[in-house]
Structure 1
């Protein structure tokens, strides 16, 4: 045992002081999964083997001993474990994205957020339902969705529902029929671009020729 090691042991006032050394702060294969493990610990999952079995399918390639050591450190900590909460923008991104595009870690963390914030369950359910109506062109379900939104205490979605309701027939048709005004909008944008290119330098006749010959 070297003099440096002996001095470290002699000067240590707490258990945590023993972990400050040349390896402190180095990246670990467990770093990506620490928030998930902290969430599981806070949900009373203190079995290291079970936690290791859960993160292996998520891509963890480290050993069980590393997970066990992390849980032992957590158990000996004087302060309660508090995983850093995800940013609101991150949670909104998880809710707005298609479930199949989320990684398994993101799906599990979203479930943990919804379990701790029950007030997010209603908007998440309504957003997912509306996304399904849009992507699968199920316009016939729109009136049912509008009624369901009005029954929930969601002021933000109430504003959206009121805007849709003012032109409900057109919105339902847009979400049901295969025709759209996309081609017309494309031509309008092209004409606007040509007009801006010639602004103040020519007349309508030249603009007409450019539109017809473009």
Structure 2
């Protein structure tokens, strides 16, 4: 099995709210083309209050993502044929997914489960990572996965955490990415840093965790290169 992540830009005319049913409606066609574990993530009105929590450095920030698994990436052309007509632009990446710390995830995620096709509570923060020039690939990977990774759950309110290492791009000329990180936050984190850092009603703890997070992520992220968006998540099938 291989995981593919598509970065998506919507056509000019429809709003995100109008675009959403079109993307969600692709489920059956994608399944027939061999896809499973399909997840759609959209920057829509439900996460508008989290605008200040986004970081964008691309000239035209992406509007959403599509994540799916295939038996083989060789099936990608059929997926592209289905999705491309609903976008103004798309890029695709073959990734290696890691979903670490299952005990923490299972303990937190149970209360946020919803039927397939419904909106997952809260928001999915998606970060597109580039290796800083100052680091070798090995240094960057170690700082991200081994230095920072264990801090994600203790410092934040996340109930889902997927580390996607980019293997290669599947679309010609796609911007270079080294990783795509998905983090599921609860509803109280939308536009609320205390909710984001699991410190509701505790500004001192929030400030300490925010500083610790910055110090950790700055070891492997150049913040003038990263794109980090807040999205609504829809798990269409497993």
TM-score range, shorter chain: under 0.3
TM-score w.r.t. the length of structure 2 is: 0.23
Structure number with the higher strand fraction is: 2
TM-score w.r.t. the length of structure 1 is: 0.25
Structure number with the higher helix fraction is: 1
Higher CA-based Rg: 1
